[in-house]
Chains A and B, each alone.
Chain A
Amino acid sequence: SAVISQKPSRDICQRGTSLTIQCQVDSQVTMMFWYRQQPGQSLTLIATANQGSEATYESGFVIDKFPISRPNLTFSTLTVSNMSPEDSSIYLCSVGPDSHSYEQYFGPGTRLTVT
C-alpha cells in the first residue's frame, strides 16, 4: 500500500485567508483524491486530481474556492481560499485505486480550524 504524508497536520487560520495543504506519496499514482470530513461526519469528495489534466470537482465544490495542483505523479496540493468558519474540517488526501488494486489509501489528514 502507498504511504501518504500531508502537511500541515493542523492549522488555525483567520477568516479571509488561504491555506495550501500538501500531499506527498511514496510511489507514483495515477489518481489522487481530496476529501473533506466535517466533525463527526463521513467523507465528502471534493475533487479528483489526475496528473496532466484539470481536476474534476464534485457538485458543490468549485475551483475558485478549492484550487488543486497536480504537478507530478507523487504530489498534489489543495488550497482552501478565502476561508470562513464553515471551512473548519479535516481535509484528507487519498490515492488509488489503480490497475493493481481496488482500494483507496488515505493520508493522515489536515485539521483546519478557521476563526
Chain B
Amino acid sequence: AQTVTQSQPEMSVQEAETVTLSCTYDTSESDYYLFWYKQPPSRQMILVIRQEAYKQQNATENRFSVNFQKAAKSFSLKISDSQLGDAAMYFCALRSYGQNFVFGPGTRLSVLP
C-alpha cells in the first residue's frame, strides 16, 4: 500500500520569511510522481509543484521549491518570501504509475503579518 504522511498539522510563518513543510511517503514502485497542492480557504485545490521521481534535480517554481530525498522517501516544500496569500492547507500527494493519487492529511499554514 502507498502512504503519504505529513507530520505537521499546523505551521506558521512570518510574512517575508521562509518555511518548510515536511512530507514522507512510501511506495514500492520505481516510477512515480510527487506533488504539492494548495487549498486556500476558498477551497479550490491548486497544483503548486511537481517532481518526477526519476529526476535528481529538485523542482522549483518561483518562490516554491522542493527538497526531494528519494532514498529517504522525503519530499519537503520550501516557501520563500512568504506572502499572506500563501496561507492555506497544503497537501502532499503521490501518484505511482497506473495507480490513483494518494494524498497526505495536510498541513495548515498560517502567515503572520
Task: Indicate if B56 sits at the interface (CB-CB under 8 A).
Answer: no
How many residues on the A side are at the interface (Cβ–Cβ under 8 A)?
20
Complex formed: what's the CA distance from A43 to B104 in Å?
8
A42 touches B103 (CB 8 A): yes
Given contacts A102-B33, A103-B35, A108-B43, contact A42 B95 (CB under 8 A): no
Distance to closest chain B CB from A36 (angstroms): 12
Complex formed: what's the CA distance from A1 to B44 in Å?
14
Task: Indicate if B75 sits at the interface (CB-CB under 8 A).
Answer: no
Q: In the assembled complex, which residues on chain A have CB atoms less than 8 Å from the CB atom of B50?
A: 102-103
Distance to closest chain A CB from B51 (angstroms): 10
**Which of A41, A104, A111 is the one whose CB lies under 8 Å from B101?**
A104
* Residues from 16 to 47 in A contacting B, C-beta threshold 8 Å: 33, 41-43, 45
B44 touches A106 (CB 8 A): yes
Query: What mask results when residues 87 to 115 of chain A are scored 1 for a CB within 8 Å of chain B, else 0?
Result: 00010101001000011111111010000
* Residues from 36 to 80 in A contacting B, C-beta threshold 8 Å: 41-43, 45, 48
Sample (12) of A-B pairs whose CB atoms are under 8 Å apart = A33-B100, A42-B103, A42-B105, A48-B100, A97-B95, A102-B50, A103-B35, A103-B95, A104-B95, A104-B101, A106-B46, A108-B44
* A interface residue numbers (CB < 8 A to B): 1, 33, 41-43, 45, 48, 90, 92, 94, 97, 102-109, 111
